[in-house]
Amino acid sequence: MAKRKPIVIGVTGGSGSGKSSVSKKILQIFKGLSVMLLQQDSYYKDQSHLSFEERVLTNYDHPFAFDNDLFIEHLTCLLNGQAIDKPVYDFAQHTRSKEVIHQESKEVIIVEGILILEDPRVRDLMDIKVYVDTDDDIRLARRILRDINERGRSVDSVIEQYTQVVKPMHHQFTEPTKRYADLIVPEGGYNDVAIDLLATKIKAILAHEVE
């Protein structure tokens, strides 16, 4: 029998919207299957040619910050059943790490990131597109906690970056991609009804795939 082509589920929304919670719940639901997560955050451009002072000024919420060519190349490889060496981004040093993570292709590929629906080349590779819709104040609170605990940031630096860059970039680039979504999920991972509907749709696609 011909090998089944992987199913690609895109999960997007603003920073701190709950994308990761939704993705993790899908991973949990399908833990008995061959499933993986590919995060757009891994594909920020390498900036090792810049000074640290220049790298600190990077606007991580602008489409230009991402190496979409490599992202698309890797996603295409996974769709063709080929393994990839996924890049690792060092947020403390504001550049790509020298390390990579070897990743085999899986039956279900969850693609997560703030701008995965912005590039039509990426959108066209997805079977289901999900937008996680969460209020700005909730997203800020979540971002403060994440960046302090996981990325060694100060409260002041997180708030300054959010108000001057993250929020305006969200409304300029991320929120408009909501129109491309097949499913809009308010309140992220706390919306069990929407996640159950999404899981049902994924199961239906899997059931109808020709082996």
Residue 112 belongs to domain with CATH number: 3.40.50.300
Confirm if 88 and 101 have CB atoms less than 8 A apart.
yes
Report which DSSP code applies to 107.
S
pLDDT at 210: 45
Task: Encode pLDDT of 87-139 as tens digits.
Answer: 999 988 999 999 999 999 998 899 999 999 999 999 999 999 999 998 888 88
Asked whether the beta carbons of 133 and 185 are under 8 A apart, the reply is yes
Examine residue 209 and state whether it is found in any structural domain, yes or no.
no
Please, which pLDDT band fits residue 1 given cuts at 50, 70 and 90?
very low
Asked, for residue 120, whether it belongs to a domain, the answer is yes
Q: What is the mean pLDDT of residues 168-183?
A: 95
Distances in Å between the Cα of 31 and the Cα atoms of 34, 35, 59, 108 are 7, 7, 35, 10
Domain that holds residue 112: 7-204
Mean pLDDT for the stretch of residues 35-56: 94
Instruction: Decide if pLDDT at 149 tops 90.
Output: no
pTM above 0.85? Answer: yes
Tell me if 121 is assigned to some domain: yes
Tell whether 210 is covered by a domain.
Answer: no
Range from 18-27, 108-117, 148-157 that averages highest in pLDDT: 108-117
Q: Is residue 80 part of a domain?
A: yes
- 93 inside domain: yes
The answer to whether residue 169 sits within a structural domain is yes
Q: How many domains does the chain have?
A: 1
Per-residue confidence band for 147, with pLDDT thresholds at 50, 70 and 90: confident
For a pLDDT cut of 90, what percent of the chain falls above it? 55
Sequence-ordered strand ranges (E) for the chain? 7-13, 35-39, 84-90, 95-103, 108-112, 128-133, 183-186
Query: Is pLDDT at 205 greater than 80 in this prediction?
Result: no
The answer to whether residue 211 is domain-embedded is no
With tokens 């997805």, the residue in question is 126
The arithmetic mean of pLDDT across residues 154-167, rounded, is 89
